[in-house]
A = this chain, B = another copy of it.
Amino acid sequence: MYRPQNLRIPGPTFVPQAVLAASARPMINHRGPEFAALMAAITRALQDFLRTKGDVLLLTASGSGGMEAAVANTLSSGDKVLVFVNGAFGDRFFQICRAYGVDARRVDVPWGRAVEPDLVRDELAKEKARDGAKAVLVTHNETSTGVLNPLKEISAVVRESGRLLIVDSVSGAGAVELEIDEWGIDVCVTASQKAWGAPPGLSMVAMSEKAWKAFDRSNLPKLYFNLQTYKDALDHGSTPATPANTVVIALQEALRLMAEEGLESIIKRHRDLALATRRGIQAAGLGLFADEAHASPTCTSFRMPARVDSRNFMRVLRDDYDTVIAGGQGKLEGQIARVGHMGFVTLQDMLGFLSALELTLKDLNQPVEAGVAITAALRAYAEATQPPAKTPVGSRR
């Protein structure tokens, strides 16, 4: 029997058929005119979506590769930096710094909570005693916990301090509000398989003028990730080494679909579907893991019922209901589950997930009334998306 999967991990995300089909077009020369046109179009579209006039470079690597490029291209060994960690990806930024001999001070925030702008301000003040951190590294959307850090406010604090701001928006960009130029973000990293709805294999790295000045002083070793070579190659419509060009073609198609919807609609869709998902999960009797004031629009984490291991829960969900979600990472393994609503996601996708959730809980002998999660989600979605109440005509003057 044909059993399509509802792929609801927080990346790779579901890839539309049109995008997959684009990736299966005949192979082309990555040094030829077709590819140059492709690179020019993609770069313009990415600049539009990332709200920047600066450089956006396309690396053949995962998002983690892009994060490493962000560090290796702007910092030097022994540089003092401040890394805010409220999940597994904040920790990865710290590990990258450590691997490269950057003197990183990590500020830990409990997983599930946000990095607050006041904390950033206080920690930057403490840095004066250390002779000042050169850069601040922060995660935008912490995929491991489902927390969206308040990047706009954090950026304002960092900008005021004059420090370089390096942001991992791997699972945020393209789905949530992000104004690279206006907020003053210097380096911003994202990846093709997240909100962009393309297959994995590409990481996009945006660089500000200030980031390029930092590049000039940076002494960390790099060749494959040397962003200057990507910038130079892009001027000739190519990349320094052979790119994952089937993924590049797929990304162009995904960007075309995104442009049809428009960034504002995309952002609202993610916010509304995230809300509906949270209400559905809660109605099924499960607790949300992340602070709801900073709940991610692209990924929701939730707690398991007592005596249920999330690995067992996910197995039933997958084997019996063809729904694939992710478990907890690192210290949260077994304790939480995470569902993605990122990229080309629809209300139907999330209702499908919630119905599978209800059935799985029932199979695991958990008390859940049939349809309760779906009903709650539909209600929340309707409220979020209904047009604003019209002022009665009679009240006008």
Contact = CB atoms under 8 A, between A and B. Distances in A.
Interface in A15-40: 15, 20-21, 23-32
A171 to B, nearest CB: 11
Interface stretch (A62-70, A302-310, A358-366): A62-70
B5 A26 contact: yes
Provide the main secondary structure of the chain A interface: loop
Interface in A351-382: none
A225 B24 CA distance: 28
Interface string A92-104: 0001100111000
Interface stretch (A117-125, A216-224, A270-278): A216-224
Given A221-B220, A223-B95, A27 B199 contact: yes
Contacts of A96: 223
Nearest to A221: B100
| Size bracket of the A interface | 35 or more
A350 interface: no
Residue among A25, A27, A65, A96 with the highest chain B CB neighbour number at 10 A = A27
A200 B61 contact: no
A245 interface: yes
A60 B63 contact: no
A221 B62 CA distance: 18
B29 A20 contact: no
A9 interface: yes
Contacts of A21: 24
Interface in A88-117: 95-96, 99-101
Nearest to A96: B223
A247 B244 CA distance: 8
A27 B225 CA distance: 27
Nearest to A97: B223
A13 B31 contact: no
A191 interface: yes
A140 to B, nearest CB: 17
A318 B11 CA distance: 39
A143 B84 CA distance: 45
A56 to B, nearest CB: 19
Contact of A26 (B7, B95, B101, B221): B7
Interface in A188-211: 191, 193, 199-201
Contacts of A241: 62-65
A224 B62 CA distance: 9
B60 A62 contact: yes
A14 interface: yes
Contact of A242 (B7, B29, B62): B62
Contacts of A246: 20, 23, 199-201, 246-247, 250
A337 interface: no
Find the residue from A31, A64, A243, A246 having the highest chain B CB count within 10 A. A246
B62 A199 contact: no
Interface in A43-84: 60-65, 68
Given A241-B64, A242-B191, A13 B26 contact: no
A394 interface: no
> Taking each of A20, A32, A225, A242, which has the highest tally of chain B beta carbons within 10 Å of its own beta carbon?
A242
B31 A15 contact: no
The 6 A-B residue pairs with the shortest CB-CB distance, nearest first, are A201-B244, A24-B24, A62-B241, A64-B241, A199-B246, A20-B24
11 contacts: A7-B29, A15-B27, A20-B25, A23-B23, A29-B326, A99-B223, A100-B223, A193-B242, A199-B246, A199-B247, A247-B247
